[in-house]
Amino acid sequence: MAKKEIFELGEKPTLGEVPKKMHAFLVRQDRFGKPIDSWQREIIDVPKLGPKDVLVYVMATGINYNNVWAALGYPVDVIADRQKKGEPEDFHAGGSDASGIVWTVGEQAEGFKIGDEVVVHSGWWEPEDPWVLSGKDPMLAPSVRIWGYQTNYGSYCQFAKAQSHQLKKKPKHLSWEEAACYMLCASTAYRQLMGWSPHTVEEGDIVLVWGAAGGLGALALQIVSALGAKPIAVISDESKRQFCMEKGAIGAINRNDFDHWGVLPATDAPEYKAWVSGARSFGKAIWEIVGERKNPKIVFEHPGEATLPTSCFICDLGGMVVICAGTSGYNVTLDLRYHWMQQKRLQGSHLANDEQAEAVNELIIAKRVDPCLSKTYSFDEIGHAHQLMHDNKHPYGNMACLVNALSMGEGRTG
């Protein structure tokens, strides 16, 4: 235990010493709503560690869409959900992406030692879950949770509590804020693209990437490109085109050039014809970029309701639509005739396991994928950054906020 009860941000106790209290950004149930109001800075106790846990002195945090949902209290009240499972806290101290320094370790924590510089991936599961112990994919374990969304004491805390398997080496060439911004989106994108054999990205494949200038999309473009395949970006604004081309897209389609989005009309309704015509034109836009009548083997999805009918329609014979969210809504429709006759796959995907997080971290360390840091904000702007994301007004790529790092650009050691 440190001699002082609490330290200012950036002030360091002696390595391994832990104060009683810390600064953190929290959501409480009585302020669910606009992220800018919902996220507030407070002082809370530093959490106790379990035997396989580590405490990370957080230098910077990434900002992710999941904590926009947490602020809204929708579609899940994460606080009530945890209380049902027996956790006492009446707040959510979130944050699912961190760079920092290992400060203390539980007696059974493995792989990293006090003082190591790390990034944290957000796959969390009960260490004693029989599924996990049997060696199967922990992302399919009954106990799996997203760290800093479904668990408390994430990266918006001065000291974050994580499990030791979540730690990955911090890339030396990155500053704290660059290192903090990518892991959740990068590992999610990697699992979508490489986790669903035999539908994995191969050299020369056409891959359609929705929301390509967003956090997930910008990383997906680069991963596809690093794997030797050809990503096509979808954007809603011409100002995003250049950014996507710089991240490896072979072309970009502006979705505002089409108007057939949303729930599929009944297949016997007159509107269905107009929908098919819109979806066909969108498919033609893909062929124009490819230079031949070739459809995407993989469609990288997250908008859901607005776009999934089209994704399923234009996906190649035997191809896969892989989806990790319902950014535009969950009420999803598709014309099954194309689905079964052309033997397509619709695959849900969620975050990533340790191996997938490691694999994408190696691409970052090798400088084959850039974290796509868009803008860095201060600790006190955590609510503001979520509000920008909620309003789709955030800068392209991934945002970060400083936590214990005092200024931008610190932390590069190689």
Question: Binding to ligand NAP by residue 311, rule CB under 6 A?
Answer: no
Q: Does 332 bind ligand NAP (CB under 6 A)?
A: no
Residue 185 beta carbon to ligand NAP: minimum distance, rounded to whole angstroms? 5
**375 near ligand NAP, rule: CB under 6 A:** no
Give the per-residue contact string, 31-50, with ligand NAP (x = CB under 6 A; - = no).
--------------------
The sign of the CA dihedral 230, 233, 238, 239 is negative
* Residue with Cβ nearer ligand NAP (101 or 373): 373
- Binder of ligand NAP out of 19, 138, 195, 214 (CB under 6 A): 214
Q: Closest CB to ligand NAP among 49 and 68?
A: 68
By CB under 6 A, tell whether 65 contacts ligand NAP. Answer: yes
- CA distance linking residue 362 with residue 73, whole number of Å: 35
Answer yes or no whether residue 350 interacts with ligand NAP by CB under 6 A.
yes
- CA–CA distance, 412 with 402 (Å, rounded to integer): 15
Q: How many of the chain's residues bind ligand NAP (CB under 6 A)?
A: 31
Q: Which of 26, 157, 213, 405 binds ligand NAP (CB under 6 A)?
A: 213
The letter for the amino acid at 46 is V
Distance CA 226, CA 116 (A): 28
Of 8-16, 53-61, 308-316, 322-330: span binding ligand NAP (CB under 6 A): 322-330
Q: Any contact of residue 390 with ligand NAP (CB under 6 A)?
A: no
Q: How far is the CB of 386 from ligand NAP (least distance, A)?
A: 11
Helix (H) / strand (E) containing 71:
helix 66-72
DSSP-assigned letter for residue 316: P
- Residues 6 or more apart from 165 whose CB is under 8 A from it? 52, 110, 111, 354
Distance CA 90, CA 260 (A): 44
Q: Is residue 389 within the footprint of ligand NAP (CB under 6 A)?
A: yes
Q: What is the bridge-based pairing of β-strands 373-377 and 230-235?
A: unpaired
- Residue 117 CB, nearest approach to ligand NAP (Å): 24
Which listed residue (351, 357, 388, 400) binds ligand NAP by CB under 6 A?
Answer: 351
Q: Are strands 53-62 and 159-163 parallel, antiparallel or unpaired?
A: antiparallel
Sign of CA dihedral 127, 131, 133, 137: negative
Contact between 138 and ligand NAP by CB under 6 A: the answer reads: no
For the CB of residue 242, give the shortest distance to ligand NAP in the complex, in Å. Answer: 13
**Which residues, including other chains, have CB under 8 Å from residue 60's CB and lie 6 or more apart?**
98, 99, 100, 175, 176, 177, 179, 180, 181, 376, 400, 401, 402, 403, 405, 411
Contact string (CB under 6 A) for ligand NAP, positions 280-309, x = contact: ----------------------xx--xx--
241 contributes a contact to ligand NAP by CB under 6 A: no
Distance (Å, whole) CA 315 – CA 207: 9
Stretch that binds ligand NAP, among 148-156, 230-238, 269-277, 282-290 (CB under 6 A): 230-238
Give the burial string for 143-161 (b: 16+ CB within 10 Å, else e): ebbbbbbbbbbbbbbbbbb
* CA–CA gap between residue 138 and residue 142 (Å, rounded): 8
CB of 398 to ligand NAP, least distance (A): 7
Smallest gap from Cβ 256 to ligand NAP, in A, equals 9
Task: Write down the least CB distance from residue 168 to ligand NAP, Å.
Answer: 16
Whether omega before 130 lies within 30 degrees of 0, making that bond cis, reads no
Phi-psi region of 215 (alpha: psi -120 to 50; beta: other; left: phi over 0): alpha
Q: By CB under 6 A, is residue 210 in contact with ligand NAP?
A: yes
Task: Please tell me the distance from the alpha carbon of residue 356 to that of residue 361, in angstroms, as a whole number.
Answer: 8
| 185 near ligand NAP, judged by CB under 6 A | yes
Residue 328 near ligand NAP by CB under 6 A:
yes
| Start-end of H helices in 195-335 | 215-226, 241-246, 271-290, 308-314
63 counts as binding ligand NAP under rule CB under 6 A: no
Q: Tell me whether residue 331 or residue 392 sits nearer to ligand NAP (CB atom).
A: 392
Sites of contact with ligand NAP (CB under 6 A): 64-66, 184-185, 188, 210-211, 213-217, 234-237, 240, 255, 302-303, 306-307, 324-325, 327-328, 350-351, 389, 392
